[in-house]
Amino acid sequence: MQFFLEVLIGGLLAGVMYSLVALGFVLIYKASGVFNFAQGSMVFFAALTVVGFAEMGVPFWAAVALALAAMAALAFFTERVVLRPLVNQPQIALFMATIGLSFLVEGTAQLVWGAQVHALDLGVADEPIEWILDKAGMSISKFDLMASGIAAALVAVLAVFFNKTRTGRALRAVADDHQAALAVGVSLQRIWVIVWMVAGFVALVTGLLWGARNGVQFSLTFLALKALPVLILGGFESIAGAIVGGLIVGASEKLAEVYVGPYVGGGIESWFPYVLALLFLLVRPEGLFGEKIIDRV
C-alpha cells in the first residue's frame, strides 16, 4: 500500500509537469483554434535561451528576461508569418503548419545555441524529502513538490489574468466566438500575438522546470508528444482539463509501468498514455471537460 501510494504520488507530481505543457496548448487552442504542435519546441527554445545566456555570464534573472523577449519576438513572428496567411484555412492545415514551425524553431535554437546538453540548476535538488522518508517511509522528491507549487502559482496567475484584466477578458471573448469578438472591436491579430506570448511564457516556465530535471536538451521537444494524450483526456478547450488530464496521465502511466510493465517487458510509458487516451476517446470524443462536438452540414 505504501509502495502504491509512493508510485501514485510520484506519478501525480510528474503529471503536473505534463499539465504545464498541455496548458500552453490549451491557451493557444482556445484563442486561435490552432493546435500548436510547436509548443514542445517552444519549451526547448525558451530553456535553451535561458541557459545559453546564463552560460555567457548574464545573471539568471536577466537571462530569463531575455528569453521572455525572445518568446515575445517568436509570438510576433508566428502571428505574422504563420497565422495571418493561413486565416480561414482548415484547422488541419494550421496544425501541419505548426509542425513546420516546430522544425523552424528547433533548427534555429540549435543553430544559435548548439546541440549540446546543458545542465540547469534552479537551486532545489531532485532528492527525497527527509522527514517524509523518515515518518512515512515514502520518497517524495523535493524538486517535484516545488514544481507543482510553481505550476499551481502559474495557474493562479493565469486565472487572475483571464478573469480580472481587460486583455484577459478580450482573450476569453475571442475564445468564445471570433466573429462576435471582432464585432465588438477586439483586434484578433493583437489577441493572437498576446496569447502566443502567454504560451511562450508558460513554455519558459515549463522549460526551466523540465530542463532542471532532465538537462536542457533536444528531447525537451518530445514533451509536445506527451502532452497530446493529456489534452485528449482533458479536452482541448479547458484549462482545468489540462491539469486533471495531466494528473491522470502521470499517475496512470507510472502505475502501469510498475504494475503492468513487468509482464510485457517494461518501457510501456512510451505508448501507454496514447492507448489510454484512445480508449477514452471511444467513450467520450470531446474529452473530460471539452465542449460537445456538434457536426452541421
Partner 1 sequence: MFYREAGQFKSTYAADQQLFPIRQDRIAMALLLALAFVGVPLASITPGIEGVIDFNYWYNGVIIPFLIFSLAALGLNILTGYAGQLSLGTGAFMAVGAFAAYNLMLRVPRMPILAAFVLAGVIAAAVGLVFGLPSLRIKGFYLAVATLAAQFFVVWALTKFGWFSNDSSSGVIAAQKIVIAGYAFDTPVKRYLLVLAIVAVMALAAKNLARSAIGRAWMAVRDMDVAAEVIGIPMMKAKLLAFAISSFYCGVAGALFAFAYLGNVEPQAFDLDLSFRILFMIIIGGVGSVLGSFLGAAFIVVLPILLDIAATGFERAAGIAVPAGLVSNLTLILFGALIVFFLAVEPLGLARLWQVAKEKLRLWPFPH
Contact set with partner 1 (CB under 8 A):
35, 81-82, 85-86, 89, 91-93, 95-97, 99-108, 110-111, 114-115, 225, 228-229, 232, 236, 264-268, 270-271, 274-275, 277-278, 281-282, 285, 295-297
Nearer to partner 1, 82 or 239 (CB): 82
Nearer to partner 1, 2 or 88 (CB): 88
Nearer to partner 1, 183 or 264 (CB): 264
Nearer to partner 1, 92 or 183 (CB): 92
CB 8 within 8 A of CB 251: yes
Please state the closest distance from residue 236 (CB atom) to partner 1, in A: 8
Nearer to partner 1, 104 or 191 (CB): 104
Please state the closest distance from residue 31 (CB atom) to partner 1, in A: 16
Please state the closest distance from residue 277 (CB atom) to partner 1, in A: 6
Nearer to partner 1, 84 or 190 (CB): 84
**Distant-in-sequence contacts of 142-147, Cβ < 8 A, 24+ apart:** 143/212, 143/213, 144/10, 144/13, 144/14, 144/16, 144/17, 145/13, 146/122, 147/13, 147/16, 147/17, 147/209, 147/213
Please state the closest distance from residue 105 (CB atom) to partner 1, in A: 8
Please state the closest distance from residue 295 (CB atom) to partner 1, in A: 5
CB 193 within 8 A of CB 170: no
* Separation CA 175–CA 32 (nearest Å): 7
Please state the closest distance from residue 211 (CB atom) to partner 1, in A: 20
Please state the closest distance from residue 141 (CB atom) to partner 1, in A: 26
Nearer to partner 1, 150 or 225 (CB): 225
